[in-house]
Chains A and B, each alone.
Chain A
Amino acid sequence: MRILGLSFDYHEAAAVLMIDGTVVAAALEERFSRIKHDAALPRQAAAFCLKQAGIHAAQLDHVVHYENPLRKFDRIVWSGVRSFPGGLPFLREAATSWLRGGKFRVRERIAEALGVELAKISCGEHHASHAASAFYPSPFDEATVLTLDGVGEYETASISLGRGHRLEKLGTLRLPHSLGLFYSAMTAYLGFHVNGGEYKVMGMAGFGQPTHYPELMKLFRLLPDGTFRLKQNYFDFLTPRALPYRPALVQRFGPARPAESPFAPEEEADETTRRASRHYADLAASVQRCVEEVILHMASKAVARTGVKNLCLAGGVALNSLANGRIQRELGLPLFVQPAAGDAGGAWGAAAHHHHHVLGHPRREPARSALAGAALGRAFSPEELRAALGASGFHRVESFPDDAALVEETARRLAQGAVIGWFQGRSEWGPRALGQRSILADPTRPDMQRIVNERIKFREPFRPFAPAVPAERAAEFFAMPPAVETWRPESFMLAVHRVRPEMRSRLPAVAHADGTARVQAVHREVNPLFHQLLTAFGDLRGVPVLLNTSFNLRDEPMVDSPADALQTFAYSDMDHLVLGRFLVSKGLDL
């Protein structure tokens, strides 16, 4: 049974190919098109998936789109009518955009793009796709499944019970009550791009205190069934205008933070900048606290309702790694989070839901077949790497005979302070770099955060970096359980924990202002080469921890091909690039 799941038209477009219940390939379109957050129909990602499996589109049994566009437009009409006459411009604009974009013709567009019969193409349901993307790759035979995002068709959240191959929806929450849109609105207010800047709010929150939490939390009414109601005083989620928040928010909390304005809450900054920065940081911290509390409420009530402690999370809000850490620590729940928890993961869920829930196919031993490692993208042969190197103009290339020699030399250069691009194997599925397409550096050096932010990634200086550590040693450095299974959020860098106080001075480049870190636990059996590198580095520097950030420059997608990697390497201040067993140093032969 060959099922291709697709998501597109709104946020990250993606394609996932499932064969007999196993995902054999998964990729985001942006990695091919090089357009960040590309939402276009994922022709290239789909083509990759088919090629990876060695099949043609005609051999697909089903193609499933992750949501129901007609039902989604029904909600748009409903929203416009409910807000009449103020909602008319929104409705008019939406109708025009939908007609122009062909959003009513999703199945036809898929058929034309892929050359698949229309009869094979169906549409799923947005939150069912999210739920499926979380439950079916989890290790749980039964689980409580919670999904949270901006909005799908009508729903902004759902609670389901997964049991065996069935996934039963128990309850939903509808627009305008949306935790995802709340977070996005505040993201915009804090000067970041919506649907891309949310994690910057998390970073900013680490510099502030949740002084506005009590007031902001009054906007939420937490209900016994696990859902909530959100007052719309400050927002208009039904018929959003140019800004996703109302003037009342500005009246209450002051002017929105101008995009790209300096953020410097520390003592060294001038008084005006410092005061403004602290104000926005406090707001970020307050927003973050609200979101965490709502998530914890929903998670605990959902689990109470189902009686099943295993918890699966998906939807864009599931990428809130601070909340994921608290779920595990405070609620003590075994937690699985879909690595691509946003709309890209909907492609996964669409295929999985259709295979298991709709067609009734059983799952294969979840505990053993759970997703471990997210390396589901493209890989390149040594010949392809060599060809890319030859075409790049770089002439200082060393080649290593085996992994041991490569690891030894790479660790040595990292220990000397080099920043190294690391390109290995199949690329990652989801937004996190997990040692396949990573930029690595020594986290023990105090200046390394600034170096990587300013010279390599050209990011805002306050943005923290994440550590990668061998899973079996993670608890030495971070306040985490001693055993981290391969399916845990930490394996996918989706949970934040405290750096142990005695270790903060040893890991200055990855300990955030509030003493936390978004940890990646690396398992020897999942990523042996990366595990080997961490160990080798630990032998040299005393801590087997590396700063691990995604291999891309600001506002660009993660690199996927060796040509992307070489280009990004050329344009940044990285010292070396490791491509397979090749180590490239800067220096062009002109």
Chain B
Amino acid sequence: MNLAVILPPHPLDPAHWEQAALGIALRLGGTPADWTLLAPTDHLERHRRDFPALPLAPWEASSVGEGGSVVFVQTVSPWAARENALGSRPLPRFTVDRHGGVRPLGRAVGPEDDPQLESHVFNRLGPRDAQSAWAYHYFPWSALYRDASWGPLDPFGHRIPQDLELLRRRAPNHFLIGGFGGSAAFGWECLPDQLWTHHLEEGLNRHCLDHGLPTRFTVLNFAGPGHVVLNEMFHYLLFAHRLPLDLVISHGGTNDLWNGQMSDPFLLEHDITYQESQEDWAQILHDSRDRPTVYSTRDEVQRSVNPPGVNLRAYVARIRQFRQLAEGNGARFLWGLQPMLFSRPRLSDQEAVIPTKWKPRDEEPRRRLPQLFALLEQNLPPDLAEAFLNHHARFARYDDDATLFRDLVHPAPEGQARIARHYVERIRDALLPGWLSTPPGETR
């Protein structure tokens, strides 16, 4: 294989390298043993000391043969764009970030990066330029977010590698679980086998194997960045209608409660909330930039304007509706309140620097979120208690040194694993016995 991986012109955190290497392997293949590992001359000795097992050589343009590809490890500063040692040589170039996200350098996103990019008209009509390629595509029924940096996506932006047609014809003892939610559930900045849905599937199947149970599980990730429960229901309607699912998991809370602080009060009274970008799109579409939005402009401070009771009521109303929808289609339903950085009683060293990067613009809604979570816990409706799984409360017990979060909201790989563990326990204890005792063909 002819792949050159260039380490950055600054110290490299071993954890970042580990994740970057996983991302390169996933996207471009091979392992570090197969790659040509290079480092800028000024930093070569430093990297050799930090990574004694890596056969590092000085980075020179001649180190990269024709027909090869180049990956710049870019974990801190965007140094790769300034790197011109390769000149105009037509070599595919990429960057990989500290989370393993591999992106093309110096060209637009194409089908080679995202094979489903041309699969239907709304993918074809979406953005391609390097600035906005990883962004929302217009789609008539919901948000369609495409970012294949951390692994392949299906035509609709889901991290679902399975063939859904095969799953439709699955065996009676094959249970299908659909996970819905926002970017945390999507697995932002995590690679495919680091996702909670992957761990959940593995955990359940391991349990079945260990206990000789005649069942198997597949877990599908229908989550998408920015999704509120309304989006989750749309994705359920659009993409899971033929399967059907045995269990629907709505894993979220933040997008609804964050947006619900600031979105249109009249709509919120009708249990409708939405992402800030939707107002931008309306202004673009109708050339109405001279008319005010409800969300604050980029120059203004965000205000938490909506009453917390109305915000929570809207969120819970949609959860209740989603549950009715899922159960009406023969599925069971679980409602997971996602954990957040503020759930933890103590932060790891890596997590401790996260708050220093917060923007003043978002200070008030950010401050309100834990308060909204607390209000939800205090006022949990009895009819939903059985379906409720409080990850936020469980993470409040994790005072160990593990890094569970990348930022305020997105779990790191270990955080994803713990979320999955909670679901495994709940499904194993509360749902599996009933499924096992239900005769095949009957609603379970």
The answer to whether A563 and B303 have CB atoms under 8 Å apart is no
Given A570-B375, A587-B379, A588-B375: A394 and B309 interface contact (C-beta under 8 Å): yes
Given A588-B313, A589-B313, A391:B307 Cβ within 8 A: yes
Q: Are B310 and A391 in contact (CB under 8 A)?
A: yes
Tell me whether A567 is interfacial, beta carbon within 8 Å.
yes
Cβ–Cβ contact A567 & B379, under 8 A: no
B301 within 8 A of A: yes
Q: How many of B's residues come within 8 Å of A, CB to CB? A: 20
Q: Residue among A391, A394, A587, A588 with the most chain B CB within 10 A?
A: A588
Residues of B within 8 A of A563 (CB): 307
Interfacial chain A residues near B265, Cβ < 8 Å: 391
Taken together as a complex, chains A and B put the C-alpha atoms of A35 and B381 apart, in Å, by 34
Q: Known contacts A392-B307, A570-B308, A570-B309; is A588 also within 8 Å of B379 by CB?
A: yes
* B303/A393 in contact, CB under 8 A: no
| A contact residues around B378 at 8 Å (CB) | 586
Does A545 reach chain B (CB closer than 8 Å)? no
Pairwise interchain contact A567-B381, C-beta atoms closer than 8 A: no
Q: A590 with B307: in contact, given A570-B375, A571-B368, A571-B371 (CB under 8 Å)? A: no
B269 interface residue, CB < 8 Å from A? yes
Q: How far is the CA of A225 from the CA of B238 in the complex (A)?
A: 83
CA gap between A566 and B308 in the complex, in Å: 9
Give bound CA distance, A587 to B378, whole Å. 8
Contact with A along B307-345 (1 / 0, CB 8 A): 111101100100000000000000000000000000000
Contact partners of A589 in chain B: CB under 8 A: 309, 313
Q: Write the nearest CB–CB distance from B51 to chain A, whole angstroms.
A: 37
Q: CA of A566 to CA of B304 in the docked complex: distance in angstroms? A: 13
Residues of A within 8 Å of B301, CB to CB, are: 35
Quick one: given A590-B312, A590-B313, A590-B316, are A570 and B307 in contact (CB under 8 Å)? yes
Bound together, the chains give a CA A567 to CA B312 distance in angstroms of 13
List residues of B (79-137) whose CB comes within 8 Å of A's CBs. Answer: none
A587 nearest CB neighbor, chain B only: B379
**Least CB distance, B337 to chain A, in whole angstroms:** 13
Question: Considering the chains assembled together, what is the distance between the CA atoms of A590 and B314 in angstroms?
Answer: 8
Q: Which A487-514 residues have a C-beta within 8 angstroms of B? A: none
Which residues of chain A are near B380, meaning CB under 8 Å? 590
Q: Which residues of A contact B371 (CB under 8 A)?
A: 570-571
Residue on B with the closest CB to A554?
A: B367
Chain B residues lying within 8 Å of A34, measured Cβ to Cβ, are 303
Verify A566–B379 contact, CB threshold 8 A. Answer: no
User: Chain A nearest CB: distance from B358 CB in Å?
Assistant: 15
Tell whether, in the assembled complex, residue B312 and residue A588 are in contact, meaning their CB atoms are under 8 Å apart: yes
Interfacial chain B residues near A571, Cβ < 8 Å: 308, 368, 371, 375
Question: 1/0 per residue A551-590: CB within 8 Å of B?
Answer: 0000000000001001100110000000000000011111
Alpha-carbon gap, A393 to B308, bound state (A): 8
Nearest residue, chain A, Cβ from B372: A571
The minimal Cβ–Cβ distance linking A538 to chain B, given in whole angstroms, is 33
Determine the distance from Cα of A586 to Cα of B375 in the docked complex, in whole angstroms: 10
Q: From B309, which residue of chain A is reached at the shortest CB distance?
A: A393
Q: Which of A27-65 contact B (CB under 8 A)?
A: 34-35
- The distance in angstroms between the C-alpha atoms of A392 and B309, with both chains bound, is 6
Provide the B242-286 mask, 1 if CB < 8 A to any CB of A, else 0.
Answer: 000000000000000000000001000100000000000000000
Once A567-B307, A588-B379 are accepted as A-B contacts, the answer to whether A393 and B312 lie under 8 Å apart by CB is yes
Which residues on B sit within 8 Å (CB–CB) of A391? Answer: 265, 269, 307, 310
Taking the closest CB of chain A, its distance from the CB of B296, in whole angstroms, is: 12
Rounded to whole angstroms, the CA-CA distance of A590 and B312 in the bound complex is 7
Q: How far in angstroms is the closest Cβ of chain A from B26?
A: 42
A571→B365 CA distance, assembly (Å): 12
A393 lies within 8 A of B368 (CB): no
Instruction: Report B288-307 CB contacts with A as 1/0, cut-off 8 Å.
Output: 00000000000001011001
In A1-41, the 8 Å CB interface with B consists of 34-35
A to B CB contacts below 8 Å, 18 in the list: A35-B301, A391-B265, A392-B307, A392-B310, A393-B310, A394-B309, A563-B307, A566-B307, A566-B309, A570-B307, A570-B371, A571-B368, A586-B378, A588-B312, A589-B313, A590-B379, A590-B380, A590-B381
Q: Give me the 3 closest cross-chain CB pairs, A-B, nearest first.
A: A393-B309, A588-B379, A570-B308
Q: A392-B307, A566-B307, A590-B376 are in contact. List 11 more A-B contacts (CB 8 A).
A: A391-B265, A391-B269, A392-B309, A393-B307, A393-B310, A393-B313, A566-B309, A587-B379, A588-B312, A588-B375, A590-B313
